[in-house]
Amino acid sequence: MSNGGIIDLSTGAAQSIGRYFSVISVVPSSLYVIFVYVLIRSGSLHHSPNWSHAFKSLEQLGVGGIALLAFLSIALGVIVHPAQFVIVQFFEGYWGNTRIAQAIRSQRILRYQRLCQDLRDEKVRATKLLSQMQKSGAATSADRVRTLSQSSEASRVRENFPRALDDVMPTRLGNVLRRAESQSGSQYGLDALVAVPHILMIAPASHVDYVNDQRSQLDLAVRMTFMSALASATAVPFLWHCRFWVFIVIVPYTLSYLSYRGSVVAAGHYGSALDSLINLDRFALYQQLHLELPAGTAEERDMNKKLARLFNYDTGAVIDYQHAANEWDLTLRPEPPSAG
């Protein structure tokens, strides 16, 4: 590769990382730094907060003050950024192996499992009732609409959880992500956690960008949740002695709650992006692995069972390859020029 090619590649990677970092890390960190600055300038550590003075001080920041806040925002983003994966896992419901953490986790999993069972029972009851209404013909249109709405709502809420109760997680975010992990590609016999990293390496750039954009939206919502919760906790020692001003902590707490609910929605979109990636690009994966393309879904599932064993380092797995007869693979390349 030429020096120019290396520079272009490095520049593209830097721009990609910079764009991701600026959105995911700097924006939430900047809001947190500004919030703490306003708390400090309000004098709330020593007396009742003077919000007018705090906001006037913020408006009158000079170049040096703006540069300092920008530096602190970037520094905080750099510090928190490596912990992004851990933060997401925490909000998914991975809380460690301590007795207290496991007890809380178990109780929440049981709660959501009971909810899933109740939703299933509600759908069954509504379906039976609707069938009885149709047979008797005595029910009014309003009764049928109400029963159908109950069944649809139960199905909609149930869709936010994994199909198997053993896969249920202790948080809403964890359940939506676990459903995506367990469901995406399952109709083809593919494990999304194993297949997606391979597919991302060969999929068209537009498909990869779409998946990455959805993941960025999820990470941004989770980071906003975390930083808003941190801001709420930070405000308590500042405002604890200020009587009713302590209720200011409700503002960042509300933002944290809304951001978390947004992360649940973003997780659903991310799962849909993984579904689309597997649906559209799995055949490219088979071709890159030199596998014979299956004739139907039954044959595809059988092939993917063997492929899963290979991906899991099973040295006893046996699978046949299909290689091009010569350099010009007519299925993938144009015909070579004729000798004449």
- Asked, for residue 289, whether it belongs to a domain, the answer is yes
- Range of the structural domain that residue 67 is part of: 3-93+171-311
Report the half-sphere exposure of 319 (CA within 13 A, side-chain side): 24
User: Is there a domain that residue 320 lies in?
Assistant: no
Is 325 part of any domain?
no
> Which secondary-structure segment (H or E) carries 285?
helix 250-288
Angstrom distance (rounded) from CA 249 to CA 235: 6
**Same domain flag for 77 and 186:** yes
Nearest 10 degrees: Cα torsion 243, 249, 250, 253: -160
Residue 43 is assigned to a structural domain of this protein: yes
Least confidently predicted of 59-63, 147-151, 156-160, 293-297:
147-151
Q: What is the pLDDT of residues 118-133, one digit of tens each?
A: 989 888 888 788 777 7
Q: Are residues 182 and 281 in the same domain?
A: yes
CA 249 – CA 232 distance, rounded (Å): 5
**Among 170, 196, 228, residue at a domain's last position:** 170
Alpha-carbon span 113 to 197, nearest angstrom: 30
Whether 259 and 228 have beta carbons less than 8 Å apart is answered as yes
Residue 334 resides in a domain: no
**Whether residues 162 and 196 fall in one domain:** no
Decide if 287 is inside a domain. yes
Our count of domains for the chain comes to 2
Pair (75, 119) in one structural domain: no
pLDDT class for 338, splitting at 50, 70, 90?
A: low
Mean pLDDT, all residues of the chain:
86
Is 323 part of a structural domain of the chain?
no
Nearest C-alpha neighbor of 37 from the set 14, 57, 64, 17: 57
Which helix or strand (DSSP H or E) is residue 117 part of?
Answer: helix 99-136
pLDDT tens-digit profile of 49-108?
898 988 999 888 888 888 999 899 989 988 888 888 999 999 999 999 999 999 999 999
Could you tell me if 182 and 306 lie in one domain? yes
Cα–Cα distance measured from residue 225 to residue 1, given in angstroms and rounded to the nearest whole number: 43
Contact of 169 with 256, CB cutoff 8 Å: no
Question: CA neighbours within 13 Å on the CB side: how many for 266?
Answer: 23
